[in-house]
Structure 1
Amino acid sequence: MQKRIAVFVCLIVIIIGCSSGNTKMVSQVIPGKIGSPNNELSFSDHRPWTSDEVYAKTEYEPFTGKYFKGLFINNPFFMAEPKEDVGSFEAFPEQKVRVQLVERNRELEKLRIVREEIFTEGEKLTVQLPEENGVLYSYSQEILGDEGEVLDTDVVMYYVPPRELNAQVSIEEQTAEHLTLQVENWGPTWLFFGKDYFIQEYEDGNWKTITLTRSVEDIGYELSPGEVLMQQIHLEDWDLDKGKYRVVQPLKAKDTDIKKQLAAGFTVD
């Protein structure tokens, strides 16, 4: 499955604020890694399957377009939240519609039917996802004929990502002019972060954040599970004296509320 890094350029520059003095006190313990590699039911692309592949790998009859608008044909895969209401929200007052929510594995094999409902009164076609995290579901809606035959089908996949962040940052290269900061996503969620890293100096037994005014690109990265991203840090922007330092990179597990900071140390001689 193809791995992908999505890059979003939001603004031209941002200004890192300055305060009186050159440093300020900060949290002393920031690890270089958290957790361990975990690719269990992780997806390295927002669109792991085409609509044709979803129909081919599941037991449903194909979309005919006789009743449904094909809302999921171009995008058959969505991230979702626990207990979220999902579906097409279409209504068919004159038709009998069967809706199924099925838990599936990475190969889209059926594990269990979570919910099955029959709509006959023109209700909006939607179901609520369970409360669990780290689960892949198929949502299907089928128009049924008088004899129970399937007249039209629409199928989409919903993935509720786990609330988990596993990652590591390290310095992969250092010269007199620059550092190369490596961010490695150990899965199973996507990582979201930017160039909002900062540098701290170890002084008098404490880590202190260096504060200065500088212009940087405001770029956001989405890093898929198992992928690695290198960022180059220009040391001349920081005007560092000889000493012990660390780069601190804030990270967020995408589609969750988990935020962490990881740090990689280096020295200036």
Structure 2
Amino acid sequence: MMRFFIAKLLFLFVMMMIIAGCGQGEGNIGSGGLNDESNWEIGQGDLPSSIGDIEKKVDMMDEQAIPPFHSLEYLWDKTPFDEPTGKWFMHNGQGVLGYGLTTGTKKGGDEFAVTFIGHKDEGEPMNRDVRIQLSELDGYDIKEVIVEEIVYIDTVGSNEQIFSGELPHKENVLYMLSAEILNENEEVEDSFISLIFVPKPEMNAALQTDKSLYEQSDNDLTLILQNAGPTVLFYGTYYTIEKKVEDDWRVVPLDMAFHDIGLYSKFGETYEQKVDISQLNAGQYRVIKDISVEGLDITQTLAAEFIIE
């Protein structure tokens, strides 16, 4: 009987702890709740709302020719290079060769390369010349052929680099790298291209909200990221909100979920994102977002301040 009584007490104690734990989360989000501001985590201190010169005018190629680097279909009708035929390069379920062409944002002096990938144990027989070109673009037109080499390939192994070179030390330039497989009459049997962007390695960007002042009845605000170039910005949907508590910025313990996706902004573009402020009371706040330069080791944390009355 005594054991049953003790077990019952333990059961009641555990249930009380569970109920207390559940009750702590209701109406109070995060450790300490929204009303316990003095115990919120310390924020990131002083942060800028912009970096570089957001009024910068970049003298460079047609911005429509800038990335996405992974989607080249629109170039097949605008450049001398046709869609892959599938005779050699794998495309639309045809072809026998995999491939790798340097693409994306690079620095002047970086290596570029062309790699073929065979899928047979003994190698994929070719016995063909391959014409490699690195061309500087002006919009969609070839301004100048920087590199042109003919490489003879008899057999392609499992991962064979057939050519490599060095990008010129020149900034704010868009290049096209091409590989054309030629027959014995020097006619193109198949081809593939990629884009390489070499910008000045800098970030010129600003983060702001659509208004500086909001009411407590407002449910959301619009966060605006402006890219003044010349680089392509990379970021996610994630952000944090901090509040000025006395003299310190503190992280508001909101329970938020974000889609884990990567987003890009070309130079001259703006990105807008809705931010939920329905749980915030009166005070001075800021939205914080991390951004980086696509392909380069340049990162910056920006903060857009706003007030709720």
Structures share a fold, TM > 0.5?
A: yes
Q: Indicate the structure with greater helix content.
A: 2
Distance 1:93 1:171, change over 3 A: same
Task: Give 2:296's aligned amino acid.
Answer: T
The corresponding residue for 1:141 is 180
Structure 1 segment 191-202 matched on structure 2, within 5 A: 191-202=233-244
Aligned partners of 1:164 and 1:188 also within 8 Å: yes
Structure 1 segment 147-226 matched on structure 2, within 5 A: 148-150=185-187, 152-162=189-199, 163-173=201-211, 174-176=213-215, 177=218, 178-205=220-247, 207-225=248-266, 226=268
Identity %: 17
Aligned partners of 1:51 and 1:73 also within 8 Å: no
Question: How big is the shift at 1:97?
Answer: 0.8
The 1-side partners of 2:264 and 2:83 are apart by 34
Bigger RCO of structures 1 and 2 (CA < 8 A, at least 6 apart) = 1
The corresponding residue for 1:85 is 113
Aligned partners of 2:129 and 2:181 also within 8 Å: yes
Aligned length: 245
Task: Give 1:246's aligned amino acid.
Answer: R
Aligned partners of 2:114 and 2:179 also within 8 Å: no
Residue number among 71, 77, 93 corresponding to 1:53 in the alignment = 77
The 1-side partners of 2:136 and 2:93 are apart by 19
The 2-side partners of 1:128 and 1:72 are apart by 27
Gaps of at least 5 residues in structure 1 are 1-15
Distance 1:210 1:92, change over 3 A: closer
Give RMSD over aligned pairs: 3.8
The corresponding residue for 2:140 is 107
Distance 1:120 1:234, change over 3 A: closer
Distance 1:155 1:216, change over 3 A: closer
Q: Max radius of gyration: which structure?
A: 2
Task: Give 2:206's aligned amino acid.
Answer: Q
Distance 1:116 1:23, change over 3 A: same
Residue number among 42, 49, 52 corresponding to 1:31 in the alignment = 49
TM-score (structure 1 length as normaliser):
0.71
Gaps of at least 5 residues in structure 2 are 1-28, 33-37, 95-100
Please tell me whether residue 118 in structure 1 is matched to residue 159 in structure 2. Answer: no
The 2-side partners of 1:154 and 1:267 are apart by 56
Question: How big is the shift at 1:251?
Answer: 1.1
Residue number among 247, 265, 268 corresponding to 2:305 in the alignment = 265
The 2-side partners of 1:166 and 1:72 are apart by 39
Aligned partners of 1:190 and 1:224 also within 8 Å: yes
Q: Provide Cα deviations, 1:11-41, integer angstroms capped at 9, x if missing partner.
A: xxxxx97589124152314233433354734
Aligned partners of 1:62 and 1:152 also within 8 Å: no
